[in-house]
Amino acid sequence: RKEVEQDPGPFNVPEGATVAFNCTYSNSASQSFFWYRQDCRKEPKLLMSVYSSGNEDGRFTAQLNRASQYISLLIRDSKLSDSATYLCVVTSPNDYKLSFGAGTTVTVRA
């Protein structure tokens, strides 16, 4: 079983729509959680950290469910510029590596 699994999509949504997707992780001891954004042929960039209480950054909301071992990302009022691959990332205690999912592709159309 992969450490981090994501629905690859693609999610094709119109501008202004809301889109949400999940990621599951296998290690119950996982400590830190992140969403990274990756544009085509570019490097991943940190979008937001995910906290146990859930957190919001503008139009983006991230949730963590430790009991079910998944995290989610919701994008409200989608913009064309939100088109990208969203990578779910987890770390484990005393671990030095980021464990990435394969990514969820979102395409926002005009």
Partner 1 sequence: ETGVTQSPTHLIKTRGQQVTLRCSSQSGHNTVSWYQQALGQGPQFIFQYYREEENGRGNFPPRFSGLQFPNYSSELNVNALELDDSALYLCASSLDGPGGQETQYFGPGTRLLVL
Binding residues vs partner 1 (CB under 8 A): 4, 31-32, 41-46, 87, 91, 93-103
Residues 6+ apart with CB under 8 A from 61: 54, 55, 73, 74, 76
Contact between 34 and 89 (Cβ < 8 Å): yes
Quickly tell me which residue has 């990435």 as its tokens: 100
Comparing CB distances to partner 1, the nearer of 36 and 108 is 36
Shortest approach of partner 1 to residue 77 CB, angstroms? 27
- Is the Cβ of residue 45 or residue 59 nearer to partner 1 in the bound state? 45
Choice between 28 and 96, CB closer to partner 1: 96
